[in-house]
Structure 1
């Protein structure tokens, strides 16, 4: 009898222990670091709540999967498959306005939405259009000429275009489908402008990451041979129909895409010799040329003592800058170099002019100005005398 009672008491003790150790509810118990699992009441356990992360299709309703995540931990990213669609990433809203950050700790039940694009073959042909000292850009003349040397090679089964090209410091270009610059892809499509702490490209006059910079020129900051790779998603092309110049005939001039990218690889020094280019500088003014590009001899800098110089009469408060042309052989094309107020560093020169908001130069007084420009240092100096 006593033996049976002893066995009963042992079984009862085991049952009570199991009952006390069994967790109830949707939580996960974790001991504090360094705390042993004993009955000391001063040693408390930390309970972490489990949250549900639900992955939805782009319609915002179709559930793709679920994941249980401990509080303050992160959800695991994965790539869903969908026939005839390309997965573009996970988003935090059903409108797909911003990407979901998988490094963000989960602190509540969370919904994540898949971004898919209809898979569509790109039948367009893209070319390099621009100007500079690169032989390809010299012949391009801002896209006036497009031949085989300018056209990117398209991969057989993907919407990926590539070209290897020599670029020199100061060269500017974009990618487009024809001489009218339809479907232009500029600096805003670059995935990066730097590598290993070195800046290789910039958006000419723009922040390359801004929406406005999508149509900005890509400016080369380091001479070398580059391989450019354009990836397109034509199913997501959009058109700026609100632009006052938009028409059905010219709609491709107002085409852009939120997903297209331009990647690049620096291959080292240029493979071909720099083009033999002669650069000339011309004044462009609010009064003298009525803001028109007038490439006449009277507005052109002429070499004096080894440097380009121009003497010209200007009115008080006349606003101006200097543009350029590049000449190879007998062909002269529009250049990409501009000389503005920021090119003036000399204190004496600054006594006679001031700068505008757009970095143009403004004459303080009416009279005769003589400008001298040093292409090597990019510095403009000037003298002034009353007529």
Structure 2
């Protein structure tokens, strides 16, 4: 609600002053006093304009979304002042912008309208679960993880000793392009992904971004993709008493419910510790075609589906039928360990001005490619520029 605050008005005294000055003698004096009178009139006129200050109301609600804890008035463009409420038997976690606690209230955002903040209160419950990092990539830990099919001591988070908080930490190297979440088992139950990060930026630079993946309809369950190679410490804080389940998911069931476990209060914080020790240079990356007709959307790692490499250039020639929808996946190998990679080649890798390539393929769902005709297709991928070219006979 917009409110206006008026200051008192000052009435002009110019006419009285002018009258007194006219009683004086001499044209020069009359001119001077006339000027003085004009100045007084101008100042009085300016001060007589009512000064207005626009304010807005900030309403702080309890977690029920209806009980008002506090109301404050904030000047237009000013910042709301944060405070920590108390509630018997509960711990205050943070302020949220919605009653569903979907995202935090931004106290750094200037107030330009009436706004509401909702208190996040939780009750303490000891978390008996064991969390681990699961994902894939070129760093040693995620290469071994292979999308969570392997969980060893390297992947497990350490839980701090506490009678009032559930705090898990892990420190490890990550490489650019690594994708991961935190979960309790190889089935990715109770997964904590991108939507749990308190921030993705440091000093104006983004270190992570949303890569979709499992449960991509919910950012809570989206994969976290690393944008900056280095050593990181992650801290996961959990409030298991407030766990809920995304029952609206189309494939939700009581048997699979832990795959849809979400929490409005759990959060992931992180620190960047500098350069890591992981070396991605000794990794071998291979690319394979995967499509509706050509592989039945199965991962087929064979000589027929694999690109051949010559330096930074990868090439694949293969027969495709008109209308086949497809894309290209990656496989990362280090020593005797191979894992499905996080890099995908799609229609968007074709240069926008490459008319020849666009004449043979079109864009399908999820930026997949669609074959425009029957024939033998040759795909050429420059890994240094991430550009794909297409030809067909």
| Range class of TM-score, shorter chain | 0.7 to 0.9
Q: Name the counterpart of 1:380.
A: 388
Conserved in 2, the CA contact under 8 Å of 1:57 and 1:114? yes
- In structure 1, runs of 5+ residues without a counterpart are 1-27
Matches within 5 A, 1:115-134: 115-134=120-139
3-state SS in 2 of match to 1:228: strand
Q: 1:240 to 1:63 in 2, by over 3 A?
A: closer
Aligned equivalent of 1:360, options 347, 361, 368: 368
**Distance apart, 1:248 and its partner CA:** 2.8
1:225 equivalenced with 2:231 (yes/no):
yes
SS in 2 for 1:287: coil
Corresponding residue number in structure 2 for 1:251: 257
The alpha carbon displacement at 1:47 in A equals 10
Provide the secondary structure at the position in 2 that maps to 1:146.
coil
Query: Structure 2: how far apart are the matches of 1:365 and 1:49?
Result: 65
Tell whether 2:172 aligns with 1:183.
no
Indicate conservation of the 8 Å contact 1:56/1:111, yes or no.
Answer: yes
SS in 1 for 2:345: coil
**Cα drift, residue 202 of structure 1:** 0.9
Distance 1:359 1:76 in 2: 45
CA distance 1:84–1:124, shift in 2 (3 Å): farther
Distance 1:351 1:367 in 2: 13
Displacement of 1:241: 2.5
Q: Secondary structure at the match of 1:235?
A: helix
Alpha-carbon spacing, 1:145–1:75, altered in 2? closer, same or farther (3 Å): closer
Which of 139, 142, 152 matches 1:137? 142
Alpha-carbon RMSD: 3.8
Contact 1:277 1:327 in 2 (8 A): yes
Question: Is the CA contact (8 Å cut-off) linking 1:278 and 1:328 kept in structure 2?
Answer: yes
Q: Which residues of 2 match residues 295-374 of structure 1 at below 5 A?
A: 295-304=301-310, 307-345=313-351, 346-374=354-382
The answer for the alignment partner of 2:275 in structure 1 is: 269
Partner Cα distance (2:193, 2:283) in 1: 25
Equivalent residue, structure 2, for 1:162: 169
Deviation (angstroms), 1:254: 0.9
C-alpha offsets along residues 299-356 of structure 1, whole Å, 9 cap, x if unaligned? 1112357632111011112211001111222232211111001111144322221212
Counterpart among 83, 86, 91 of residue 86 in structure 1: 91
What is the TM-score normalised by the length of structure 1?
0.76
| Pair 383,87 (structure 1): closer, same or farther in 2 beyond 3 Å | same
Change over 3 Å in CA distance of 1:198–1:89 after alignment to 2:
closer
Q: Give the distance between the partners of 2:94 and 2:375, measured in 1 at CA.
A: 62
Structure 1 pair 112/129, CA: closer, same or farther in 2 (3 Å)?
Answer: closer
1:349 is paired with a residue whose SS is: helix
Cα offset, 1:230, TM superposition: 1.4
Q: Unaligned regions of 5+ residues in structure 2, if any? A: 18-43
Inter-partner Cα distance in structure 2 for 1:356 and 1:51 = 48
Q: How does 1:282-293 map to 2 (within 5 A)?
A: 282-293=288-299
SS at match of 2:282: coil
Deviation string for 1:93-138 (max 9, x for gaps)? 888788777764898xx99764422222222111111111101111
Whether the 8 Å contact between 1:225 and 1:266 is mirrored in structure 2 is yes
Q: How far apart, CA to CA, are the structure 2 residues paired with 1:193 and 1:52?
A: 30
Return the offset for 1:142. 0.8
* CA distance in 1: counterparts of 2:303 and 2:296, whole angstroms: 17
